[in-house]
Structure 1
Amino acid sequence: MGRLKELLSTNQEELRAKQREDWLCWISQYRKWLVKECDGAREVCTIEEERIRVMDSTNPPVVLRNYIAQNAVQKMLTSQRKLDKMWNRIFFCGLVVCLICLTEQTQGQKTPLVVQGTDCTQIKTLSPRATSGVYVIQPAGVRFPFKVYCEMLADGGWTVFQRRSGAEVLFNRKWAVYKQGFGHLRKDHWLGLSKVFALTKGRGRRSTMRVDLWDFEGGTAFAEYSDFRLGPERGAYKLNVGAYKGNAGDAIRGKYAGIDQNGFGFSTTDKDNDGCSPCIFGDIAENECSFSEGGGWWYSRCGSASLNGDWHPVGEHIGWASGLHWETWKGPAPYSARASRMMIKSV
């Protein structure tokens, strides 16, 4: 009987030793699996190894296998959740990029302009209560409409093509810029030679040009010219005016003979059409009026009118060669006006 108990005891110890051996084998395999599956997340592996260490060594291998299986399922679900989050982020980022691209494309596309008339005169005729402001016009024969500032006065709508009131906008520009236009329509600006040409071209089309002037003493003056038009660019946008009326004097034709600007092309610092080669003024020889007078203008041996020169503040507005000059109005020393405005009206 004692021998039987001894044999049974020996068998149980051998069984436990076998289970222990299997247990250690499974732990070893599980650790290898952890190293492979943790993918560098060592803190996770450390936690799992600690859980293995504290497990009861008598647990049968089937428990460990179940634990490993459950852990594997859990990690698979965690990986799937991470993958889902990654794809959600990718989708969100892609959506944001698409929205940005669409916004940029929309901003890059100009909103079509709604034409309100062929010029400011027509707009005023069609809408007698129209007020001064920015309008969209499309003169006859012009492919694309453009914006202008309209002065809606009692005698009709005037299209402003030059305004000066300060030094914010520089008028010392080159030919291409004077052709295209610059400045701010509601403030100081030059509409552009090409646009003024478009407003005045065509058989049977007649326009009046008006020049308004303001001095630093509170005075004002004006000059109006009938039959105003500009020639094409190949002729340097040659100036053509008819009869004069007003109280500022006919500075375009000049305060003395030989400086009539009527019939002369436009000049800038990079395109000279002033007729000087050189012009002699006393002991001064002038080759290009745009360098001394400043800005761009229809210079004729320089002449008596030049409203696109340098703007000067009060106290510094007399005696400058470059300025807002209308020499038949102020003199004898060169007087630079406080403000000027040039505009046209179809008749």
Structure 2
Amino acid sequence: MRSIQGRKILVVICVLGAVSGFSLADVYYSPEQLFNNRMSSLQTTILKHLDERLDSFERRIERKLGQQLTAMQRATDNKWLEIDDKILVLKGVIQQNSGAYFSSCRYVPSEFSNVFMIRPSGVNTQPFMAYCEQNYLGGGWIVIHKRFDGSVDFNRNWAEYRDGFGELDGEHWMGLEKIHRITRTGQYELLVVLKDFDGDSKMALYDGFKVDDGGAKFKLFLERFVHGNLGDSLDVSKGARFSTYDQDNDQNPDGSCAQYYTSGWWFKNCMNANLNGPYRQHDKDNKTMNWFAFHNNLQGLKEASMMIREKVTVV
């Protein structure tokens, strides 16, 4: 029975083969042929996935390169802006050297802090270089004192404090004689900016600031504290004459404050602030660069700046 059915199937296959044009050899695959077919199919699938991954990778690379090119373009643009500003500053310096000076840091041709030649109106002296600070309260400040790393020793004698020391673009003291000649010409305000070793910054603004001449031992005139989160520690020095280790002008009956605190300052008896003290964070005798109201103690600060600016009268 099975033999008859088998023959019938074979006859049907042969008839279909004659009609469609395929043979029994096409219907039968050996194990080796099946393996090769599967491997070929697998290879095709793998290559397809690889092509897709490569296309995706190329698109990511193109996006990344585009972002990098954009960043490079922005950096280049910023560099050109810096160059333009330096050219502007250079033009100002050339102008100064040709006989034109700025009467104030308010009028320097730059929005960036830098060193400029100034000659305040009414000052009977030669023009001088000063560091103009533009980053605080609208800018236009003449920096008279700056410390930030302890690279300059501030334990100086009377002549050095009178004439000034340090580099204008680094730590420096302008000099009491220059400060006197500037502040005698009009009304000036004082800004004090301090930073501690934890990175906290504070400032104090005083409504008036003036230094008398050498005959009066560069006596300090200070008006009221008007603004800032620093607190007023300079009030104690109002009316004080300047002292150094070789010229004691303080009111301390027990000895020289300048010698004890190893710095020149407007000592009275003795002080609540000393921005010219030794550059150190801690000292048991308070021989530091300090401002009591910053932390309610006289331990050392990291950075200090004193700057002055003529007051503008609004009519």
Q: TM class, shorter-chain normalised?
A: 0.5 to 0.7
Size of the aligned set, in residue pairs, is 213
TM-score, reference length from structure 2: 0.64
Residue equivalent to 2:195: 214
1:256-271 pair list within 5 angstroms: 260-271=236-247
Q: What is the SS of the residue equivalent to 1:317?
A: coil
Deviation at 1:115, TM superposition (A): 4.3
1:121-136 pair list within 5 angstroms: 121=106, 123-124=107-108, 127=109, 129-136=110-117
Letter of the 1:268 partner, please give it.
T
Note the aligned Cα RMSD (angstroms). Answer: 1.8
Q: How many percent identity over aligned positions? A: 32
Deviation at 1:246, TM superposition (A): 1.6
Q: Looking at CA atoms only, which structure, 1 or 2, has the larger radius of gyration?
A: 1
Q: What is the SS of the residue equivalent to 1:329?
A: helix
Q: 1:115 to 1:336 in 2, by over 3 A?
A: farther
* 2:246 equivalent to 1:249: no
**CA distance in structure 2 between the partners assigned to 1:208 and 1:115 by the alignment:** 26
**CA distance in structure 2 between the partners assigned to 1:176 and 1:322 by the alignment:** 22
1:35-74 pair list within 5 angstroms: none
Deviation at 1:208, TM superposition (A): 0.7
1:1-347 pair list within 5 angstroms: 114-121=99-106, 123-124=107-108, 127=109, 129-139=110-120, 140-153=122-135, 155-202=138-185, 205-244=186-225, 245-253=227-235, 260-278=236-254, 287-312=255-280, 316-332=281-297, 334-347=298-311
**CA distance in structure 2 between the partners assigned to 1:296 and 1:115 by the alignment:** 35
For structure 1, list consecutive stretches of 5 or more residues without a partner in the other structure. Answer: 1-110, 254-259, 279-286
Q: 1:209 to 1:113 in 2, by over 3 A?
A: farther
**CA distance in structure 1 between the partners assigned to 2:98 and 2:180 by the alignment:** 21
Contact 2:161/2:176, CA 8 A, preserved across alignment: yes
TM-score, reference length from structure 1: 0.59
1:154-188 Cα shifts (integer Å, max 9, x gaps): 51300001001122110000010001000010010
Q: What is the SS of the residue equivalent to 1:156?
A: coil
1:119-171 Cα shifts (integer Å, max 9, x gaps): 212x24xx4x4421000011222321110000013513000010011221100
**CA distance in structure 1 between the partners assigned to 2:195 and 2:100 by the alignment:** 33
**CA distance in structure 2 between the partners assigned to 1:275 and 1:322 by the alignment:** 19
Contact 2:194/2:303, CA 8 A, preserved across alignment: yes
Q: 1:115 to 1:191 in 2, by over 3 A?
A: farther
Structure 1 consecutive aligned stretches of length 4 or more whose deviation exceeds 4 Å: 111-115
Letter of the 1:248 partner, please give it.
L
Q: 1:292 to 1:156 in 2, by over 3 A?
A: same
Deviation at 1:249, TM superposition (A): 1.3
Deviation at 1:320, TM superposition (A): 4.2
Contact 2:242/2:267, CA 8 A, preserved across alignment: yes
1:47-72 Cα shifts (integer Å, max 9, x gaps): xxxxxxxxxxxxxxxxxxxxxxxxxx
**CA distance in structure 2 between the partners assigned to 1:230 and 1:289 by the alignment:** 20
Q: 1:218 to 1:325 in 2, by over 3 A?
A: same
1:61-100 Cα shifts (integer Å, max 9, x gaps): xxxxxxxxxxxxxxxxxxxxxxxxxxxxxxxxxxxxxxxx
